[in-house]
């Protein structure tokens, strides 16, 4: 079962209910860890509804010791995964975190859980909070 969410938390100063949410997450899903493994991956689409770029410098989850932003790239014919220090969503654009590209690595679960909470931050500023259920089977 895949759970698609369209949840958004407004940026500081943008709290009017008449305004469009500054940052919106959709198509959110998290893979279950493989047997014996201590990591999952999260995929989603982020849409910036503002006239300024949004920069995500950190992602956190209370269910995992560490969440890292990664990107898969091919170098000399070999696929490699590398951590990226920040994820920028240009003004009025959408960035997809997907298999084979940018994605989140959720490492070392702290306890069994049926859902994952993700907090997207710029420094110490919370930009977006999203809850997602695990995907039941890989696609």
The Cα angle at residue 106 between residues 66 and 85, in degrees rounded to 5: 65
| pLDDT tens-place string over residues 39-73 | 999 999 999 999 999 999 999 999 999 999 999 99
Averaged pLDDT score across all residues of the chain: 86
40 is written with which tokens? 């999952």
State the pairing for strand pair 78-83/87-89.
Answer: unpaired
Can you list the positions of beta strands (E) in the chain?
23-31, 39-48, 54-56, 58-60, 64-75, 78-83, 87-89, 94-97, 102-109, 115-122, 125-135
Cβ pair 107, 66 in contact under 8 A: yes
CATH number of the 23-126 domain: 2.60.40.1890
Per-residue pLDDT, 13 = 40
Average pLDDT rounded to a whole number, residues 31-39: 88
Q: Per-residue b/e over 81-100, b at no fewer than 16 CB within 10 Å?
A: eeeeeebebeeeeebebeee
Q: Supply the DSSP string of 103-119, one letter for each residue.
A: EEEEEEESS--SEEEEE
Per-residue pLDDT, 136 = 59
Average pLDDT rounded to a whole number, residues 107-122: 92
Give me the residue spans of the domains in the chain: 23-126
Query: Token pair 């010791």 is at which residue?
Result: 65
Per-residue pLDDT, 7 = 36
pLDDT band of 100, cuts 50, 70, 90: very high
C-alpha–C-alpha distance, residues 130 and 28, integer Å: 8
Q: How many CB atoms lie within 10 A of CB 79?
A: 9
């Amino acid at each position: 079962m895949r759970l698609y969410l369209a949840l958004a938390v407004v940026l500081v100063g943008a709290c009017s209910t008449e305004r469009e949410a500054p940052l919106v997450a959709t198509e959110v899903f998290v893979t279950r860890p493989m047997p014996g493994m201590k990591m999952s991956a999260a995929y989603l689409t982020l849409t910036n509804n503002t006239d300024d770029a949004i920069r995500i410098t950190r992602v956190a989850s209370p269910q995992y010791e560490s969440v890292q932003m990664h990107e898969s790239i091919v170098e000399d014919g070999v696929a490699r995964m590398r951590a990226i220090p920040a994820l920028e969503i240009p003004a009025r654009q959408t960035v997809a975190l997907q298999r084979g590209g940018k994605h989140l690595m959720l490492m070392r679960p702290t306890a069994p859980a049926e859902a994952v909470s993700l907090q997207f931050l710029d420094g110490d500023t919370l930009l977006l909070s999203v809850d997602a259920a695990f995907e039941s089977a890989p696609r």
